[in-house]
Amino acid sequence: MAKAKTPAGTPGTVKVRLVKGLRGCQARHRLSVKALGLNKLNSVRELKDSPQVRGLITQLHYLVRVED
């Protein structure tokens, strides 16, 4: 199985940016955004690339963007 591409930053990490506000989204998704460490709009976190983080990113695909 092919490995996921890692961003240009540190290998084994992924940069995540909150690109949409949390008003009108599900309460569970708000908690997931908080679990990723994202607070305000356009906030960016560099997280360890793990299956758990990838699952949260997949769940929040309409709120966050993975950056290079």
| Residue range 16-36: mean pLDDT, rounded | 96
Query: How far is residue 59's CA from residue 27's CA, in Å, rounded to a whole number?
Result: 13
Query: How far is residue 9's CA from residue 7's CA, in Å, rounded to a whole number?
Result: 5
All domains in the chain, ordered by first residue: 13-67 (3.30.1390.20)
| Residue range 28-43: mean pLDDT, rounded | 96
Q: How much is the pTM?
A: 0.81
The helix (run of H) or strand (run of E) holding residue 68 is: none
Q: Which pLDDT band, with edges at 50, 70 and 90, does 10 fall under?
A: confident
Q: Hey, CA dihedral for 55, 18, 34, 61, is it positive or negative? A: negative
- Residue 7 in tokens: 């961003």
What's the chain's average pLDDT?
90
- Share in percent of the chain as helix, strand, coil (round to 5): 25, 20, 50
